[in-house]
Each structure stands twice: as C-alpha cells, then as structure tokens.
Structure 1
C-alpha cells in the first residue's frame, strides 16, 4: 500500500526538514565540524523514519515532488544570472581541467563497476549501472538505461540495481564532500574571500549581528529575472530537443541566465539588475535547500536493503575510488588552491550523486571558509552539460565491449 503525500504538504515538509537539519547540524559536533549540509541531515533523518514505518507496517510513504522540479530550475537560473563572461573566461583553464579529470573518472568508475560484475557473477553490461550511469549520471540516467540493459541481458533486477546504486550514491555524496574539503583546507591552510558577494551559501550570522537588509522589491526583481531566464530556458530546451540534443531542463535555464546577465545590463544601463545581490543569493539558498531536503527525505532506503551485500560492496569500492581520486588527482590537478578544495567537495557531490548535491556540498564549505564564486559557475557547466555527453559515449562503449 502507498500513502501519497500531496505536493503542498511535501514542500511544507521539505521546509520543515531543512530546519530539523539545521538543528541537527548545529547540535551534533560531527555534522557541524565536517560541513554536512542542513538539508542532508534533516532529509536523511526523515528518510530513515519512513524506512522504519515501511518495516513496521509494510506501507510506503510516497511524496509528490512536482514543486521540487521547479525549485531545481529556479536555483540554476539564479546561478546563471550571477555568472559573468569575464569570470568564465578567467576560469577556462579550470573548467577544462575539471572536465578532463571527470572524463577520466567516468572510465575508472565503470571499471570498478565491471570488477563488481566479475566478483558477483553479474552480466557485464550491469557494470555501468554500478558505475557512471547510476552515479555520475544519477537517477535519470539509471532509469533511462536500466530497461535497455534488462532487455539485452535478461537480468530482471537491472532497473532496481541502477536506482538503488543512484540512491546510495546520493547518500554518500552528501556525506563525504564536506569532510574532504575540511581536510584539504585545514591541511594546506586555505581560506576564501569573506568580502565577495555570495552566489549561494550565505554565511551564518552570529547572535546579535544585524541582518543584511533585503526588501520585497529586491526579492521580486530577482524572482522575475530568474523566471524570465526559466521561460527562455524552456524555449531553448525545446529547440535543442527537436535538434536531437537531450539535456536536463536546468542546463538551458542556466545558460539563459548567463546570456541575460551579460547582455541586458549593457543594453539597458538604467535597469537595476539583481546579479550579485543578497536577494538573489537568498533565492538561490532557499530553492537549493528545499530541493535537496525534498530529494533526500523522499528516498526509499528499503530498496537498498533488498539488494544486500553485492551492492554495498561495490559502492564501498566506488567510495574508496572517489576519495582517493579527489585527494591525489582532482585537488592537485585543479591547482591546490582554495577554489580547488571547494571544487573537490563539489566533485564528490556529483561523482557519486548529482549536481544539486555538489552545489550543496560547496555551499556548506563556503559558508564556513569564505566565497569561491568561480567554483559555482565552473562545476555546473561540467557536471550538468559536458559530462552528460561524455558519459553517454563511455556507457555506449562499455556496453558494446
């Protein structure tokens, strides 16, 4: 039996989950010291409760996540609105380095998946469902490839393995990014700028400190700009789809936000533009926080228990690979700077989970150690745009072999 929680109640619970997570993160030393995002703490707590309810009653609690999808595109539209072409050009080397490292990691991730199929006597094409299709690709890619691999191999549990791998990967991604960044930052004595306007990840205010003034006009102006970017993103998405290029909706919305912020302020110099404002940063924080809280609270953890040992063993190998690759390759390859440490947290987020998890990891780090604006532009372009194309090619190659 399924108990459906309607959309309005789901988003309300998502907001509540964030505050539960904020309480847990600030109360539990480990969560605070290792920069575990608030939506992760609260979301995993609720997911555990729904698992216990399923175990006791046999009933599944299912959330209507329609609002969550809007929050995702809203968040990436705000990221695009904060991007400047000058910064993107300055970060060109960083973007290319991250892209090359990620492509190499996709191959390594599928190699570990292949090792898992050998150890547990599974059909070889299952390797990508234990690797990049489910981890770097996330739930969407796993769901897309699962039925095809099931039809090819006749292995009935292929789809379930892909979804379960993506789910467990998302949990791990949300938990390891902060600790990895903390170790790198503390070990190398790094720190970001506390004077730069935040893109996302507003710093915590100390008790008694006056809040920054944001009024309803600045919030409405920022929301309108983001909504226009989303509308244009829909048109671009449809055009790309017709041309045969399949991309997640939030990617065109991100791109249109970048286009708007690098044209309209120059074409209309008297226009008050929200880029770099606290109002836009607040909208970014709210949309990302509630999106991630809803994503994690809705996970059906009992599906992981049903698949048991082999899945856990392969994910443990993937976890070791990810931590070692970040520590020995990614951080060094990106220049051993503060931005490299922040991007290392983000790499952990999308290498095992999804782009929003990566952004949440980076946001949690920058709240504590200072801003890294370029990281929030470079990573989504790699993880949500270029990597989807590279991942599809590598998956095809592994399945063909």
Structure 2
C-alpha cells in the first residue's frame, strides 16, 4: 500500500496527536521526557509491522514533504540564534566537537571488536559503528555500496540500515531519561531563568495559554521563506566552489546571519527571533518531521539481524548512556545546560540531529529553556560531525581494508 503526500501528512498529524495523547495519559512518558512524536511514531511503526506480519501488507509513505519540514525547522533554529549566545557557547561547542570525534572512534572500535569476536570480517563492524549510528541512514546508504563492492560484504545495505533504524528509535528514547537522571541526581537548576518563549515548543504547564499573533506569524513565515531562498543560493554557490553542504545546513547559517544583522541595521522590532510564532513553527515542523520519520520505519527489517548485530547494538546503547552521563555531562560543566546537551548528544550519536533536538525539546518543555544547548548541539550535529565522521571512517577503512 503506497500512501500519497496528502494521506501521508494526514497520517503524520494523527500519529503526532496520538503521541501527545499517550504522553498526557501516561505521565511516566512525560516524566522521562520522551518526545511526543517519538511515542506516536514508534506505536505507528509497530502497527505497520503487525499488519506486515499478519496480512503481508507493507505500507509505504511518500516523504517528500518531510524534507521540507526539516529545512524549515533548521531555518527557525538559525533565526533564533544570537551571536552573543554563539560566543558564550564557543567553548562548549569545541568541547562537544572533540568529545563527539572521540566517540566516533569508540563506536567503530566496539563494532570491529564485536564482529571479530563472532568470527566475522572486522571491517564489517564499521557498518554497526559510526557509519550507521552517528552517520544515520544517509551515511549508511552512501558507504554500504563500497563495502559490498570492494570488500564483498553481502547484505551490507540491509545491515547498515537496520542498525541506523535501531539507533534512531533508541536515540529518541534514551535522551529524556538521561536528562531526568542528571537533573534530579545533581539537583540542577537552569543557568538563566527567562520569560522568553522556548527555542522550540511550549512548556507543558503553559501549553493551554500559549498564544500566537497572526501578524507575527505571517512575518515569521515571510522571513523563513526568504532565508530558505538565500540558503538555496548559498548551497548552489558552494557547489560551484566544490564544497557541498546539505541545504538545511545552509539555511541554518543564513538564519543566523540574518538575525544578527538585519534587525540591527534596519531597526526592525517585529523580527521573529524569540517570538511565540517562531517557536510554534519550529515545534510544528520538528513534530511532523519526526512523526514521519518514525512511522515510516519498517521494524520487520530488524528481525533479520543476526546475534552479532544484536550484541553489537546492545553494547553501543550502553556505551552511549555511559559516555553521555559520565563524560559529556561532566566535561561540559555539570550544570543544567550540560544535562540538556547530554540528552541531545544521546539522540545525535545514536540517531540524527532532529532526534537530538526532539530530546532537548522534551527536556526543556518539562524543566526550563536552554539557549546554549539549542545552539551547540545542532551546529555539531548538522555540520561538523558529518565531515569528521567521513574522515574517521576513511581512516578505519584504510586500517582494516
């Protein structure tokens, strides 16, 4: 069964509200900061798997609009960014980047070690390391063909995608509980209390009272569209210079540039930064993107994993939990911002940048805003980590190939 764009979007909305209802119905989900879209998305994927096993019915979604939601979301993150915040987060950005690169190596060592223990080719362990986990589905697809053609690793694509799928699910589940543990274990308080809206989302306590001004909403839409247009031109320019970046990264940087120049040069008071309208748009796009991503996961592909891959992924999840709580949190300052960034890092290193943002959104909805976290983690995840991951993977391939 193939669902068109309209039906896919309708399904995503139902899935999002289903997750929202479940999180409010079962307080444990809210207490452990499980993102609403993750709750609904996993349930929807489980229902799809049930239909597949019971009736051999495979549901395929049309996901073109999902990419648009991702672009709009990262544009809003850029428009909310302030240079002053970037300067404050500079040290944290560098530290998290160093920690992330170190863990890329750890992930690959775990993959190689587990597969070698089971008598499999050591190089195939990279498919369950930073290729599929920190890299995600895109990196898994890009590298699996080389493993198949150059090293005769048959089924490389299926195995890498299965690991990436597993990581995406657990990346969305673990982040919230990690933040809850750190905040309550260390009795953390927000670094700065602010009456401004959350960077993404509305707190649970204020959800009924959130208001969006129609004028500000339309201004936000206009500026977002302008930023996306400029981001597209930037991406094309970089391609001509033989330097390629994903479109959503270009839009993120354009948003940052616009928000730190235009309002000051032209004295625009109605600029959407820190507005409820921009937070509303961010929340909407992130929720629908994550709902679409998770509800389209084919869980039955996970059953094809052999014992080595199950053991591998268990070790990867345990390593992520320990690294986020014992290393990332402590190195980044052991404060509230560090706890939020640790929850985001768990989603980033197992899933993808949107998963990291969803984790941090759920945490800040439950506790308080964290401006630094919403600047540092997206920049590490959306730009730096992909480039450095490619270098790390290439080095491991040269060692093991």
Same fold (TM over 0.5): yes
User: Aligned with 1:312: secondary structure?
Assistant: helix
1:215-256 deviations in Å (ceiling 9; x for gaps): 222111111111111111111112223333332221111000
Deviation at 1:23, TM superposition (A): 1.0
Query: 2:195: which partner in 1?
Result: 195
**Residue among 175, 181, 184 paired with 2:182:** 184
User: Aligned with 2:273: secondary structure?
Assistant: coil
For 1:315 and 1:219, the matched residues in 2 are separated by 43
1:257-291 deviations in Å (ceiling 9; x for gaps): 00110111112114621111000000000000110
8 Å Cα contact 1:123-1:153 kept in structure 2: no
Counting only pairs closer than 5 Å after superposition, residues 2-401 of structure 1 correspond to structure 2 as 3-192=1-190, 193=193, 195-205=195-205, 211-270=209-268, 272-401=270-399
1:356-383 deviations in Å (ceiling 9; x for gaps): 0000000000001100011101111111
For 2:124 and 2:75, the matched residues in 1 are separated by 35
For 1:127 and 1:306, the matched residues in 2 are separated by 16
**Structure 2 unmatched runs, 5+:** none
Runs ≥4 in structure 1, deviation > 4 angstroms?
none
Deviation at 1:134, TM superposition (A): 0.6
Aligned residues: 397
Deviation at 1:206, TM superposition (A): 5.7
1:180-199 deviations in Å (ceiling 9; x for gaps): 00000001111323523321
Q: CA RMSD in A?
A: 1.3
Range that drifts further, 341-350 or 5-14? 5-14
For 1:305 and 1:241, the matched residues in 2 are separated by 40
For 1:325 and 1:144, the matched residues in 2 are separated by 27
Q: Give the TM-score normalised by structure 2.
A: 0.96
For 1:249 and 1:147, the matched residues in 2 are separated by 24
1:156-206 deviations in Å (ceiling 9; x for gaps): 111111101100000110000000000000011113235233211211246
Q: Give the TM-score normalised by structure 1.
A: 0.96
User: Aligned with 1:60: secondary structure?
Assistant: coil
User: Aligned with 1:8: secondary structure?
Assistant: helix
8 Å Cα contact 1:339-1:375 kept in structure 2: yes
> Structure 1 pair 246/270, CA: closer, same or farther in 2 (3 Å)?
closer
For 2:162 and 2:117, the matched residues in 1 are separated by 19
User: Aligned with 1:203: secondary structure?
Assistant: coil
8 Å Cα contact 2:202-2:210 kept in structure 1: no
